[in-house]
Amino acid sequence: DVKVTQSSRYLVKRTGEKVFLECVQDMDHENMFWYRQDPGLGLRLIYFSYDVKMKEKGDIPEGYSVSREKKERFSLILESASTNQTSMYLCASSLDRGLNQPQHFGDGTRLSIL
Amino acid sequence: AQTVTQSQPEMSVQEAETVTLSCTYDTSESDYYLFWYKQPPSRQMILVIRQEAYKQQNATENRFSVNFQKAAKSFSLKISDSQLGDAAMYFCAYRGGWIYGGSQGNLIFGKGTKLSVKP
């Protein structure tokens, strides 16, 4: 089975801090994704990557950046955390760009910015 | 912009009964995939079922089946013999081709339906 591991289940940070959320997958997947999940809004794509050192903006990239230095690891960075970034963050990966390829999700990180 | 609409924010079903969750989508593409994902409380999101647009036959996975109406752009999920473990958020998702960025593996999600199962 595919294993997508997010470094923290719960995280509390302060406004203005630089925050790193880490995600690792163990199945040599090409594609990796970061979403945020908010009640009533579903999942919204922040950034994605389809190869090492490649990144593409999703629907809501403002206030975020990403890093993919190794194929298995995809990091989400909040450069200067703000209270409106309090949310559930989900990482996902998929094998490749095939339309039929499902995304495999991590457990999520519930981030609170105080 | 591409949209996926789940019109039922919450649904409830009695244990052992059948429930249908609705999903509609908007697209001008002819080749695409549709997915249903399940997210139990405080647990990982997992794939329930998927359907290719070119296949007329509705996908089935054990107690889960879909009613795919391509012309109506409708993709509902039917859960038969509902169990307590089926209680979760259910998300409908679309992946298309190059028009909507699906060629890069992107999914477009609906806002979800929260399903409760009564014992």
Residue indicated by tokens 């949209």: B3
Backbone angles phi, psi at B104, to 5 degrees: -100, 15
Q: What Rg, from alpha-carbon coordinates, does chain A have?
A: 13
pLDDT band at B85 (very low <50, low <70, confident <90, very high): very high
Q: What's the whole-number average pLDDT of chain B? A: 90
Least confident of A50-59, A99-108, B103-112: B103-112
The answer to whether residue B107 neighbours chain A at the CB level (below 8 Å) is yes
Q: Chain A partners of B52 at a C-beta cutoff of 8 Å?
A: 99-100
Contact (CB<8Å) A90/B43: no
Confidence class of residue B99 from pLDDT cuts 50, 70 and 90?
A: low
For residue range A37-46, list pLDDT tens digits in order: 998 888 999 9
Name the residue of chain A whose CA is nearest to B52's CA.
Answer: A100
Contact B104 A97 (CB under 8 A): yes
Write down the residue that tokens 């389809």 correspond to. Answer: A50
To the nearest 5 percent, what fractions of chain A are helix, strand and coil? 5, 50, 45
Does the CB of B12 have a partner CB in chain A at under 8 Å?
Answer: no
Q: Tokens in use for B62?
A: 């054990």
pLDDT of residue A96: 76
Task: Work out the average pLDDT over B1-26.
Answer: 94
- Cβ–Cβ contact A10 with B under 8 A: no
Which residue, chain included where needed, has tokens 């399940």? Answer: B38
Q: What DSSP string describes B48-100?
A: EEEEETT--SPPEETTEEEEEETTTTEEEEEE-S--GGG-EEEEEEEE-STTT
The amino acid sitting at B119 is P
